[in-house]
Structure 1
């Protein structure tokens, strides 16, 4: 089993190809039956809470030490949302609460089928599934997929069309794997400036590091040097599969001068066989082998012998040190084809 509860939940989503069909259909039915409107979704969802569930929305100024973005008080039937937040985030939190309250039975069915190993993992699973429902309600499957294809998966145009953030759109794109009507299979990842992964989902066979940082040659790191710009990269993993990788920074305000911003790089990518469907392949020669960068999962598990950015030797190989020779590549190891200088 997974070592940590959050790994257990991530593995569950990976086994499901990052797609929860029952919740997607439930979100679509609610959107259509209530006549929700993309351009007025925040007010429509607020009205739904009030009219159908008797729940009021209250905006709360964050007090010192209180960094909650959302708090639901069932006795008061009041949902408190942080005042310094965007409309897309507020709509997401409302949709999340609707998922928990209205579709709790459906979420529990998924939890029961997930075979999660601990109480903590099951609690995290409920939150993750409610988050999934919220994304599906803000960006209903069929409509969103049709627009994604029409716009060639242009993330910024989709965000403008649905009033959602760059990160929300990227995550939603990684879930579009409905049987019989699948979108491009994407991986989705979020890292901080130190390379720590805080979110990762995939509908591809892309391999992520479970612990520690990610490959320094991946364009996720370079994104921090170009804030707000979308970077592209053709990258090949050790298993031989090549991906079109996108990376861009996002930031979240702390709400106060004395509270630091949260800064991340968002990565989204697909296998090169799907790259022509993306607007981001414009101007890139997808057949040019010289344009492909060789990357890995992380140094500890990567056995590439000729990586100039290697920070650690691979765990699976013994070092071969010759005190009289020095290679341009760090840590020569057993089986390396480039041990000589």
Structure 2
């Protein structure tokens, strides 16, 4: 009899604990969210699709949040909701929702059911999320192989720079150990963004490196045996500062960098050396723009690149590149895509934390605003674009001229582009003034002509590789063929 009473008591406690876990009271977090956005109660209530009185009850913990409201908050304020400290079950539910929203699945799963799955079957939910991530990664690797074969190069014959580029892509352009080590190093240097003088002093005093400013050694040259670092004095201040940071982290964080390279297991020495350079560049950016301080300032300024560059003393390109790396678990930034395009249309840098992926071979879509930006330096251009899958993106592009410091070498000319999905328009100052719902002003772009399915594009250079062309000798449009 006593065993039965204990069993009943245990079951009652279990039911009580499950019930309490399901009832999420988040009044303080909702008030924080509203205050951070300077919103009135009626405005937030309207966005959530509830009455102001219902929101008041939520904020005073008189009612719990429902799964539908949690999903609505995650949709409307993804970064804010993450910052307000959602617990592990909520984060799992969000990850489960993102995985279940893959176009692979025909019907969406209701939010309440996903929330119950995350709460009642967390192990199964985590395995589903992990499997979906593995499926997505496998798809990306197959695309790499397909692109290589279509470009006429064997899948196993990637050039070293291609191997390093793909490594960064598959790492989501975020290296946690290096990012945190660089952030800690910046804190030890005692400045939110270390100055040239501070880094020079650290190199001399802590690392016993002598500094020489001379144009005889190229942009940067380091003699490890003599411990001499030579930097071109003709570089712009932000470029000199970045070169100092690169050499500093490549010495101070050498063990951390080599550990990442060893884990990468790249097949040849050239690839590993290139990865060392790439990781040193990554760590240099993380030193000059420490993660949490940079992310906080970026959100405060709504990702205004010029103002961010002024705060951290970095170049326009360096600032854009850093924004594309903000992928730390629990403190993610806006998912951006970033690329650099030269005068010939070649993409020389690329990364995307969005669903937009760049072509691995050849140039970008000619309708994309980044090409116009190359020809119009020092002017920011903005574009609302739509990819064939129906997703819309806000693109910001700027043409840049990097001086060489001498008449003997011409300056380098290129453009950089940064963009995000329209769901994050409130966080992106360049979206201001755009009609995001307009079908008249949106520009239909593709990834590249080789894989673009659009039939009505006047800028098409050649047909998609998987479609047969049809030619009518008696009829000529802008493009001299059609495709089935």
Q: TM-score range by the shorter chain?
A: over 0.9
2:324 maps to 1:174? yes
2:226 maps to 1:76? yes
Which one of the candidate residues 77, 87, 96 is aligned to 2:237?
87
Partner of 1:337: none
Partner of 2:170: 15
The answer to whether the Cα contact below 8 Å between 1:317 and 1:333 also exists between their aligned partners in 2 is: yes
- Secondary structure of the equivalent of 2:483? coil
Partner of 2:289: 139
2:457 maps to 1:307? yes
2:400 maps to 1:250? yes
Partner of 2:190: 35
* Change in CA separation of 1:239 and 1:120 when aligned onto 2, cut-off 3 Å: farther
Structure with more of its chain in strand, by fraction = 1
Structure showing greater Rg: 2
2:405 maps to 1:237? no
- 1:256-283 per-residue CA deviation (whole Å, 9 max, x = no partner) reads 2232111001011111111221111111
Partner of 1:317: 467
The answer to whether the Cα contact below 8 Å between 1:61 and 1:83 also exists between their aligned partners in 2 is: yes
Give me the CA root mean square deviation.
1.5
How many angstroms does 1:50 deviate by? 0.7
Partner of 1:45: 199
- 1:115-149 per-residue CA deviation (whole Å, 9 max, x = no partner) reads 32322111111100000000000001100111000
- 1:90-122 per-residue CA deviation (whole Å, 9 max, x = no partner) reads 221121112221211111121122232322111
Where do residues 110-129 of structure 1 align in structure 2 (5 Å cutoff)? 110-129=260-279
Partner of 1:338: none
TM-score with structure 1 setting the length: 0.93
Which one of the candidate residues 345, 370, 373 is aligned to 1:223?
373
List gaps (5 residues or longer) in structure 2.
1-155
How many angstroms does 1:311 deviate by? 1.0
TM-score with structure 2 setting the length: 0.66
Which has the higher mean CA deviation after the structures are superposed, 28-37 or 147-156? 28-37
- Secondary structure of the equivalent of 1:280? helix
Distance 1:2 1:148 in 2: 40
Distance 1:195 1:136 in 2: 28
How many angstroms does 1:11 deviate by? 1.3
Which has the higher mean CA deviation after the structures are superposed, 132-141 or 324-333? 324-333
How many angstroms does 1:289 deviate by? 2.6
Distance 2:459 2:469 in 1: 17
The answer to whether the Cα contact below 8 Å between 1:37 and 1:44 also exists between their aligned partners in 2 is: no
- 1:227-272 per-residue CA deviation (whole Å, 9 max, x = no partner) reads 2111111111223222111100111112222321110010111111
Greater RCO, CA 8 A, separation 6+: 1
The answer to whether the Cα contact below 8 Å between 1:8 and 1:117 also exists between their aligned partners in 2 is: no
2:204 maps to 1:54? no
Distance 2:389 2:266 in 1: 29
Distance 2:422 2:206 in 1: 46
Structure with more of its chain in helix, by fraction = 2
How many angstroms does 1:37 deviate by? 5.2
Distance 2:157 2:176 in 1: 24
The answer to whether the Cα contact below 8 Å between 1:14 and 1:203 also exists between their aligned partners in 2 is: no
List gaps (5 residues or longer) in structure 1.
335-341
Which has the higher mean CA deviation after the structures are superposed, 139-148 or 93-102? 93-102
Distance 1:33 1:95 in 2: 14
